[in-house]
């Protein structure tokens, strides 16, 4: 049976097991062999990271085509107005392409752990928490999205991936969960996609009639037998 771990990644931890000089990595928290991150979470971000020993499960979680929603709680500088939020909902043009439409709303400060070290706040500039939901995973996407609307990210916590959350997990803690439902939904999705491809590949009755009519009215090509040319 495939293993699936939920890990609450602390701030300033690299999402890798390979040791690095003077840097904290996953190896400092997780001793289970042969599990690897399904997706990434930047060193300066916190929150949910999924790890598994199944390549298939890793693909299901990290591949954007499966549209697994990732929920982020984001503390930004200043308070975004409605046009700024609408820009995120509509998609923002970044250097590597336009983002897909995302869900975003203002939220009250969530009841979460303190970050060490804390963010740098300026007394003259207020901050605001947002909940942002996306289905893709461009590099540092959420940070670039909030910067593009003029509200730099001060703190970023990934709260959920699909139905899995960091609820009841303190920074550095992890727990194993049952992956059977995720694997089943992946198989169901692939079966559904296979049927769609099969239906597209096989012409419908009306499609076959159109093909037949085109063939019946097609003119002979230069290589096709036609009238013999009279000798000069």
Selection from 216, 74, 220, 85 nearest residue 143 by Cα: 74
Stated pTM of the model:
0.79
Where is average pLDDT lowest: 70-79, 84-93, 198-207? 198-207
Instruction: Decide if pLDDT at 219 tops 60.
Output: no
What is the chain's alpha carbon radius of gyration, rounded to the nearest angstrom? 26
Cβ contact 134:68 at 8 Å? no
The residue from 28, 34, 42, 163 that is catalytic is: 42
Q: How would you classify the pairing of strands 24-25 and 13-14?
A: parallel
Query: Any catalytic annotation for residue 42?
Result: yes
User: In angstroms, how far is the first alpha carbon of the chain from the final one?
Assistant: 82
Q: What is the mean pLDDT of the chain?
A: 85
Banded pLDDT at 201 (limits 50, 70, 90): low
Residue 232 clears pLDDT 50, i.e. is over it: no
Percent of the chain with pLDDT over 90: 60
The token pair at 227 is 């009238």
Whether residue 167 is predicted with pLDDT greater than 80 in this model: the reply is yes
From the CB of residue 59, how many other CB atoms can be counted at a distance below 10 Å?
Answer: 14
The alpha helices in the chain, defined as continuous H runs, are: 55-62, 82-90, 141-148, 180-201, 205-217
| Residue 88, pLDDT score | 97
pLDDT band at 112 (very low <50, low <70, confident <90, very high): very high
* Angle, CA of 194, 62 and 131, to the nearest 5°: 115
Contacts of 30 (CB under 8 A, 6+ apart): 5, 7, 17, 51, 174
């Amino acid at each position: 049976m495939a293993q699936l771990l939920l890990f609450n990644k602390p701030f300033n931890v690299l999402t890798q097991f390979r040791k690095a000089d003077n840097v904290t990595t996953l190896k400092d928290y997780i001793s289970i062999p042969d599990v690897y991150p399904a997706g990434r979470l930047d060193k300066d971000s916190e929150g949910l990271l999924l790890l598994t020993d199944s390549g298939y499960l890793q693909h299901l979680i990290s591949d954007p085509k499966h549209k697994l929603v990732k929920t982020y709680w984001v503390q930004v500088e200043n308070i975004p107005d409605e046009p700024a939020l609408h820009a995120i909902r509509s998609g923002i043009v970044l250097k590597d392409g336009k983002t897909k439409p995302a869900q975003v709303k203002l939220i009250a400060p969530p009841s979460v752990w303190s970050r060490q070290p804390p963010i740098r706040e300026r007394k003259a500039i207020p901050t605001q928490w947002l909940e942002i939901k996306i289905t893709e995973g461009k590099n540092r996407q959420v940070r670039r999205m909030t910067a593009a609307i003029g509200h730099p990210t001060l703190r970023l916590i990934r709260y959920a991936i699909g139905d899995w959350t960091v609820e009841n997990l303190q920074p550095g803690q992890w727990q194993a969960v049952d992956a059977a439902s995720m694997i089943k939904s992946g198989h169901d999705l692939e079966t559904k996609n296979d049927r769609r491809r099969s239906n597209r590949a096989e012409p419908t009755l009306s499609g076959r009639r159109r093909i037949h009519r085109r063939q019946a009215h097609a003119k002979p090509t230069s290589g096709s037998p036609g009238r013999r040319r009279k000798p000069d």
